Amino acid sequence: MKRRFLSVRFFLSLGLLFSVLFSAWSIYYKTQDWGFNLRPNQKIPVWTIESHLTFQPTGKPVEVSFARPDGTGNYKILDETVIAKGYEIKKEKNKFVIKGKDKKKQQNIYYRILVYDTMKSKGKTKAVNKPEKPALPSFSDDDVILAKEVLLKAKEEKGDIVQNLIRLLNDSEPNEAVLAFSPERKSTLETAQIIVDLLALEGIPARLIRGIVLAEGKKTSKTDVLLEAYQAESKRWLTYHVRTGEYGIPESFIVLRRGDDSLVDVVGGVDSQTKYSVLKSLNSSFGMAKYRAQSAEQKQLFAYSIYSLPIAEQNALKWLMIFPLAILIVVLLRNVVGLKTMGTFTPMLISMALIETGFWPGLTAFVIVTGIGLIIRAVLSRLNLLLVPRISAVVIFVIFIIQMCTIIGYRFDFKVASAVLFFPIIILAWIIERASIIWEEEGLKSALNEVFSSVLVAVITYFVIVNPTVQHIMFAFNELNLVILFIVMLLGTYTGYRLTELKRFAPLVRHKDKK
Amino acid sequence: MSFLGFVSPEKLREAGVLSMNRRNYEVIARHNRRRLYPLVDDKVKTKQLANDIGLTTPHLIASVSAQYEVKNFLNLVKNYKSFVIKPAHGSGGKGVLVIQSYTQNHFRLPSGRVLRYREVYQHISNILSGLYSLGGRYDTALFEEMVHFSDVFKNYSYQGIPDVRLIIYEGYPVLAMMRLATKESAGRANLHQGAVGVGIDIKTGRAISAVQHNKPVRFHPDTKADLMQLSVPFWKEHLLIAAQGYEMTGLGYLGADIVLDKNKGPMVLELNARPGLAIQIANQCGLRSVLKRVEKDFPRGLSFKERVEYVLSTY
C-alpha cells in the first residue's frame, strides 16, 4: 500500500522534473529566437533606413538598382519596400532592379529597409572563395617608397599589422613616415581606402564595408565605412573600425554592401544623388515575435502559440494564464499554511476582481456590498423564504446595490463606488449567504473570522498576481503553468503538518515535555 | 522551544500527532472507500444498519422530505413531549434543533430560548433545501425522540447532550473523548466553539485529561464539576457498540458518537467517515502513533467482541 503512494509521488516528481526541463528549454528559445524578455513592456527598436535617390533622366529608358543587404549581417530585416511610381520593380537576390520608360522630370525613388535586433558581431566572415591577390595600387614610385616606410613602421610594432596601420594613420601626432606619405588628415572613407592600398602592397586582400550607422533622426548623403582584411591562416575576413582599429561590427552599424560594388546604380539618368535617413520606432516584443519566429524558421511552432492570436483573444488568455498561479497560492495557503476560506476558489475570484478595481477601492467596495448585503439578508431571514429563492433574492439585491453604487460613484466621481461593478455577483451573494448562516449558527465572531481569512487569502493572492512582471512572465512563458500543475498535484500528496497545526497541536508537545 | 505558540514539526512528529493532510491522504483515502460514505452520511441508513444488528439508536419518530409535508409536522410529533429535529445528511451537529417542550406556537429549547412556530417551520424548510447537508443537496428532516441522558453526566454539561466520540481504526476502538457543552459553546458540543473535550481512557472509561480552547482545564467552567472525576458507565458496552461500527459500515477509519440514555443505555447517535483531529488534543495524545501500532501489532480477522477484549487486555 505504502509503495503505491510513494510511486504516485515518484511519477509526479518525474512529471515536475520534465515540466521544469521543458519550460527551461522553451523559455530559452523564446528569449533567444522570439526575443521575449523577462521584464514586461519591453520595447524593441525597429530602425527604418531610407535611401532616397534623385536623378535627372536623360530621356532614355531608366534602369536603377539598389543593393540589398545580404541578410547575413548583424541584424534582421523586418520589411523592404521600394517606392518608385511608374516603374517596374523586380526583387533579385542581392538587389532591386527598377526599370522605367523615358521620363522627363526629376525622379524620386525610395528604398526602405526596416531592421531590428541589431547586435554587435565579431565580424569574422568566412571567405567563400580565397580572394585573389590584390592588384598593386596606382602609386607613383615616390609614393611606393613612402608607403613601404609606413608599412615598415607598422610591422615594427607588435600585433596585428592592420590595427597598427589604423593607429598610425589616425594618430593625432603622426610620425614622419606617415606625415610624408599622407600629409593631411583624411576622411574615414579615404583613410580606409589608403589602408586597403597599403595592404595591397603587402599582398593582403582588403575591402571596404559600406553601411549606415544607426542614430535617431539621422540624415546623410554618405554611407559609413568599415574595413575588412583577409586573414590567410584562418581563411576569414576580419572587420576593423577605421578610426579605433577595434575588431567587429558595432551594434549600430548596418552592413549594406561589402567590397567595391556601388550601392546604387543609375542608367539613363544624371546628377544622381542618394540621401540616407534613419528613423527609430518602438515595437512591443510580442508584436515582433512573429517576425523573429519566421527568421528563426519556427513559423509552425509560432503559428500554434497563443501569440499568433488576435489581440482580443490574447488579452483574454493573458487573464487566464495568471489563474494557475493564483490557484497555486490558494492551494498553498489552504493545505500548507492551513487557512480556512469560504469556498475553495472564492478568494481567488475576489483577488481577480481586486486587480480590475485597484486595491483600496475594491476592498472598500467589497466591505460595503457584503455589509449592506448582510443587513438585507438578516431582513430576508425574517421572511422565512426557502433556500434557493432566498439566495436568488440576495443575488438580485446585490445587483441593486451594485447599480446604486455605480450611479452614486458616477455622480460624485467617487471611484470606490464604481469598483463594485467588477465583483462577481454570484460570489458576493454566496459570501453573504454563508456568512449570515455562520452568524446565526456560530455567532458573529465565527462569521467575521471566516470572511476575514477568505479576504486575507484574496489579498495575498492579489499582491502576487498584481505584479506586472509576474503577469508578463506567466503570459510570455505560459509553459510555466505546466510546472504549476505538477506542483499542485504534488501538493496533493503533501502529508506534513500545516502551519496552523503547529500551533493547534502545540499543547500535545507541551504535555509530553512536562512528563 | 516554541515561538508565538508554534512548535516545530519535529516535535509534533515525535508526539505522533496526525496532521489533517495525512489524515486525508493516508488514512481516509486508504481505509474508507468512497462508496461506503452514504452509509454514514445518511442518518436514516445508519439507523437502519444499527438496528439491523441489534444496536439501539434514538427512536425515529418521523421523517419529512417534501416541502408540503412540513406544515404537518406538529401532527407527526403529537405523541411526544419533546423531540429533536436534525438533517439526515448533516455533520458536526449543524442544523440540530432540540425541542424540550412545546405548545402550538411556542417551542422551548434547552437554552430556555423560545421559538415561534414559523421559525421552526423555517428551520425544517432550510433542512429540506440542503442548507446543512454535505454538498448542499436536498435533504430530509428527521424527527427523533429526545435522548434522556444519564444523570451521571448532569453536572458535566451546560445544557446540550454530552456524548462520547470514539475513533475506531480497523475495527479497534483506539481513542475516546467526551464532549461537554459549555455556556460559551451555547450548549453545543463543538470544541472550536468552546466546548470542553475530555480525554477518556480507552480501557477504563475514566477521564485522563481535559481541554477547553486547546488549554488544559480541571473543572467545568460553568458547573465547576471536577472533570477528572468523570467516569463513563457501561464503558465496555460503549466499546462494543463502537467496534461493531466497523462491521456495519466497512469503514477502516471511523468516528462513532455514542450517547448514554438513562433508560435504554448506550446508543449510536451517528457515525462519521471523516472524524476530526481535536480528539488528539483532548487526550493529549497523538493519533498517528496509535494508528501505527494498530497497523503493526494488532491481529486481523477477529470478531468485534474479540477486538474489544484485545483492546481491554493489551492496549
Helix (H, G, I), strand (E, B) or coil at B32: coil
The residue among B166 and A256 whose pLDDT is bigger is B166
* Residues from B in contact with A at Cβ < 8 Å: 2, 4-9, 11-12, 14-15, 17, 19-22, 25-26, 30, 67, 94, 118-119, 121-122, 125-126, 129-131, 186, 190, 193, 209, 211, 214-216, 277, 280-281, 284-286
pLDDT of residue B150: 82
Q: What is the fold of B2-41+150-314?
A: D-amino Acid Aminotransferase; Chain A, domain 1 (3.30.470)
Chain B CB contacts of A384 under 8 Å are 118-119, 121-122, 125
Q: Does any domain span residue A361?
A: yes
Specify if A104 maps to a domain: no
- Which stretches does DSSP call E strand in A22-87? 43-57, 62-67, 76-83
Dihedral sign, Cα of residue A157, residue A162, residue A164, residue A169: positive
Cα A435 to Cα A369: distance, rounded to the nearest angstrom: 13
Q: Which residues of B touch A335 (CB under 8 A)?
A: 21
Between chains, do B125 and A511 touch, taking CB under 8 Å as contact? Answer: no
- The mean pLDDT of chain B is 90
Of residues A228 and B142, more confidence is placed in B142
Q: What is the pLDDT of residue A515?
A: 47
Backbone angles phi and psi of A297, in degrees to 5: 55, 45
Q: Is residue A10 part of a domain?
A: no
How close B52 comes to chain A (CA, Å)?
33
Residue B91 has pLDDT above 80, yes or no: no
- Find the CB nearest A506 among B5, B121, B285: B5
CB–CB contact B26 A495 (8 Å): yes
Cell digits for A21?
A: 526541463
Same domain assignment for residues A349 and A484: yes
Which whole number is the average pLDDT over B67-72? 91
A109 domain-assigned: no
Residues of A in contact with B215 (CB under 8 A): 507
Residues of B in Cβ contact (< 8 Å) with A383: none
Strand partners, A95: A67
Residue labelled with grid coordinates 456495519 = B248
Regarding whether A355 and A477 lie in a shared domain, the answer is yes
Residue A72 has which C-alpha cell? 547575413
pLDDT at B310: 93
For chain B, residues classed under CATH 3.30.470.20 are: 2-41+150-314
Contact A95, A68 (CB under 8 A): yes
Work out how many domains chain A is built from and give that number.
2
Residue B186: band (very low, low, confident or very high) from pLDDT cuts 50, 70, 90: confident
If one looks up domain B59-145 in CATH, what number appears? 3.30.1490
Structure confidence by residue, pLDDT tens digits, A185-204? 778 888 888 888 888 888 88
CATH 3.30.1490 domain span(s) along chain B: 59-145
Average pLDDT for B144-152 = 87
pLDDT tens, residue by residue, A43-68: 778 888 898 999 888 888 888 888 88
User: B137 or A329, which is more confident?
Assistant: A329
CA distance B260 to B151: 10
Q: For B221-237, what is the mean pLDDT?
A: 92
A420 assigned to some structural domain: yes
Instruction: Decide which of A198, A232, A250 is a domain's last residue.
Output: A250
Q: Which domain range does residue A470 map to?
A: 311-511
> Three cell numbers at B307?
477486538
Q: Tally the C-alpha atoms within 13 A of residue A34's C-alpha that lie toward its C-beta.
A: 28
Mean pLDDT of B273-293: 92
Q: Which residue of A has its CA nearest to B120?
A: A384
A175 and A317 both lie in a single domain: no
Query: Which of B6, B284, B286 lies closest to A502 in CB terms?
Result: B6
pLDDT, position A1: 45
* A418 and A496 assigned to the same domain: yes
* Separation between Cα atoms, residue A147 and residue A154, nearest integer Å: 11
From first to last of its 515 residues, chain A has per-residue pLDDT tens of 455 556 888 899 999 999 999 999 988 888 877 777 777 777 778 888 898 999 888 888 888 888 887 666 677 788 888 888 888 888 887 788 888 887 778 888 899 888 887 777 776 777 777 777 777 777 777 778 888 888 888 888 887 888 888 888 887 777 777 777 776 777 888 888 888 888 888 888 888 888 888 888 888 888 888 888 888 888 888 888 888 888 888 888 888 888 777 788 888 888 888 899 988 888 777 777 777 776 666 667 777 777 777 777 888 888 888 889 999 999 999 999 999 888 888 888 888 888 888 888 888 888 888 898 888 888 887 777 777 788 889 889 888 988 888 888 788 777 666 677 778 888 888 888 888 888 877 778 888 888 999 999 999 999 998 888 898 899 889 899 999 999 999 999 899 999 999 988 888 886 655 54
**CA-based torsion, A3, A8, A9, A11: positive or negative:** positive
**Residue type present at position A387:** L
- Interchain proximity B15–A497, CB inside 8 Å: no
Asked if A226 and A362 sit in the same domain, the reply is: no
**Neighbour count for residue A196 (Cβ, 10 Å):** 20
In the numeric block, the cell 450611479 is attached to A407
User: Does pLDDT of B274 surpass 50?
Assistant: yes
Residue A27 covered by a domain: no
- To the nearest whole Å, the CA of A494 is away from the closest chain B CA by 7
Q: For testing the chain B interface, which of A340, A434, A508 should be mutated: the one with the most B CBs within 10 Å?
A: A508
Q: Is A507 helix (H, G, I), strand (E, B) or coil?
A: helix
Which residues of A sit within 8 Å Cβ distance of B?
A: 1, 5, 335, 338, 384, 386-388, 437, 441-443, 446, 492-499, 501-512
Contact criterion met (CB < 8 Å) for A497 and B122 = no
> Which of A263, A337, A293, A292 is CA-nearest to residue A503?
A337
pLDDT score of B176 more than 70? yes
| E-assigned strand segments in A58-204 | 62-67, 76-83, 88-91, 95-100, 107-116, 124-126
- Beta carbons of B290 and B174 less than 8 angstroms apart: yes
Per-residue confidence (pLDDT) for residue B74, from 0 to 100: 92
Mark whether A245 and A324 lie in a shared domain: no
Between A438-442, B24-28, B110-114, B212-216, the lowest mean confidence (pLDDT) is in A438-442
pLDDT at B172 over 90: yes
Residue A94: inside a domain, yes or no? no
The residue with greater pLDDT, A132 or B227, is B227
ipTM value for the complex = 0.83
Looking at residue A3, its pLDDT comes to: 55
- Give the helix ranges, DSSP H, for A171-253: 176-181, 188-201
Helix or strand holding residue A311 (H, E): helix A311-331
Q: Phi, psi (5° rounding) for residue A484?
A: -60, -40
DSSP string, A372-418: HHHHHHHHHHHTT--HHHHHHHHHHHHHHHHHHHHHHHHHTT-HHHH
- Which comes out higher in pLDDT, residue B46 or A249? B46
| One domain for residues A319 and A449 | yes
| CA distance from start to end of chain B | 31
Q: Which of A201, A229, A250 is where one domain is finished?
A: A250
C-beta of residue B48 within 8 angstroms of C-beta of residue B268: no
Q: Does the residue A284 lie in any domain?
A: no
Spell out which residues of chain A touch residue B26, defining contact as CB-CB under 8 Å: 5, 495
Average pLDDT over residues B17-38: 91
Q: Are A501 and B2 within 8 A, CB to CB?
A: no
* Measured distance CA(A344)–CA(A46) in Å, rounded: 47
CB < 8 Å & 24+ apart, contacts of B183-187? B183/B158, B183/B221, B183/B222, B184/B221, B185/B158, B185/B160, B186/A443, B186/B111, B187/B110, B187/B111, B187/B158, B187/B159, B187/B160
